[in-house]
Amino acid sequence: MDGGVKFLPTEELVEVLGSKNRANLFIGGVVMLSRSTVLLYRGNLESLEIPLSWFVARPGGIELDPKDFSISDYGQAIRLGHYEASTDVALYEFDEKYRIRTKKRLVAEDSSIGGAIRRLRLQKGLRQSDFPDVTAKEIARIENGKVKKPHRLTLEKIAKRTGVAVEQLITF
């Protein structure tokens, strides 16, 4: 390793290690200039290696300085000089399991009619193409929020295929 591992301040480190979502927070890391990577340690003690090239400053933005590395904000930020990157963004980019968990959480939290239909469809084991007289594209548009108020006839077809009353669709 090119330099020593840098950890969160003790108070923050203790809090992160004791938190339920410690796997989603960084407690420390090291910049390895010889490999052009940053090796990060999560609160569950797993490591994640990220290429330095991923940390890109916007034109005219803050320049990053790999020699001035730290983890800050209770493990929620990676700092390279004055440049900061969000832990969530890094995990979403480089950890497939994190991406899957995040997507599931977002789907579960979606309170729209599209979110309710997606949850119901998945609960029933149906594909978007399993709805007679409603195209898979239309189901996808509803589920993705591109159609905010589906036509009553479309909702009736979805309700019939899933075996629930139209009025119950939003409750899923």
CATH code of the domain covering residue 167:
1.10.260.40
**Does 91 share its domain with 125?**
no
Residue 100 in domain? no
| The pLDDT of residue 2 | 61
Tell me the pLDDT tens digit for each residue of 90-109. 999 999 999 999 988 888 88
**Does 88 share its domain with 119?**
no
| The pLDDT of residue 89 | 93
**Does 60 share its domain with 121?**
no
Domain boundary among 95, 129, 147: 95
| The pLDDT of residue 109 | 86
| Number of structural domains in the chain | 2
Q: Half-sphere exposure (CA, 13 Å, Cβ side) for 69?
A: 22
Residue 69 scores a pLDDT above 60: yes
**Distance between CA atoms of residues 21 and 123, nearest Å:** 26
**Which backbone phi and psi does 139 adopt, to 5 degrees?**
-60, -45
Tell me the pLDDT tens digit for each residue of 98-141. 999 998 888 888 889 999 999 899 889 899 999 989 999 999 99
Domain boundary among 95, 121, 138: 95
Which residues span the domain enclosing 152? 110-171
Residue type at 156 in one-letter notation: E
C-alpha dihedral sign at 31, 76, 144, 170: positive
Long-range contacts from 59-67, C-beta under 8 angstroms, 24+ separation: 66/31, 66/33, 66/38, 67/31
Q: For residue 83, what are the β-bridge partners?
A: 80
Note the Cα 143 to chain centre separation in Å: 18
Residue 104 in domain? no
| The pLDDT of residue 63 | 85
**Distance between CA atoms of residues 132 and 141, nearest Å:** 16
Q: Half-sphere exposure (CA, 13 Å, Cβ side) for 139?
A: 24
